[in-house]
Amino acid sequence: MARSIDDQLTKYLTDAHSIEEQTLQQLRGAPDAAGDPELARLFREHLAETERHERLIRERLEARGATPSRVKDLVMRAGGAGFLLFARVQPDTPGKLTAHAFSYEHLEVAAYECLISVARRAGDDETVSVGRTILADEQRMSERLAAAFPRAVDASLPPPPDLDCGDISYRRFRVIYTVPDPDPHRFDSDRDGIGCES
């Protein structure tokens, strides 16, 4: 059934709002799961931005006369579907968490591109302006996440084993100090260039 452009705009705003609600839920746990201080900071900063997005979109919905209960119902329904998707890609390592967050930012980018386009056709300049502000935040976050992929991969790798001389059969071997991180296991504790002397 064809909808009026105003109905369409309310629907796109409702969708954007439910995506922000989903993102809020996910970002609240993300800093603890990040496994890296820089990644954790990224998630915390975007959590603050996302709280602002949620409020801005809710205000646009209210300005259009969408009643809070109707908004809430739609959010709950959309939220359920979104949660299934989330469960399937449950991030259990910093790498997967970052990849998942990256996909979510792009979902938001697409949602705001569509919202802006519908709002422009409906002549709702305030929603166009709000949409552009939020879109810029989402694009910046996805770029920052992409730049953080190497950190996320590092944070996902298990720490290397810490060996003692008792764990290896070699004795009195040369330790070369002209390389980066020459003696990570401290085989040469007196630093005389000979490892595992006894």
CB atoms within 10 A of CB 30: 23
Site for Fe ion in 139-198 (CB under 5 A): none
In angstroms, rounded to a whole number, what is the distance separating the alpha carbons of residues 61 and 57?
6
Q: Check if the beta carbon of residue 23 is closer than 8 Å to that of residue 48.
A: no
Positions of E strands within the chain: 173-174, 194-195
Contacts of 22 (CB under 8 A, 6+ apart): 79, 82, 83, 86, 104
Considering the complex, state which of residue 21 and residue 105 has its C-beta at the smaller distance from Fe ion.
Answer: 105
14-53 mask for Fe ion (x: CB under 5 A)? ------------------------------------x--x
**# chain residues binding Fe ion, by CB under 5 A:** 5
Q: Residue 105 Cβ, how far from Fe ion at the closest point, in Å? A: 5
Report DSSP state, residue 164. Answer: -
Considering the complex, state which of residue 111 and residue 122 has its C-beta at the smaller distance from Fe ion.
Answer: 111
Does 100 help bind Fe ion (rule: CB under 5 A)? no
Does 58 help bind Fe ion (rule: CB under 5 A)? no
Does 138 help bind Fe ion (rule: CB under 5 A)? yes
The footprint of Fe ion (CB under 5 A) covers 50, 53, 105, 108, 138
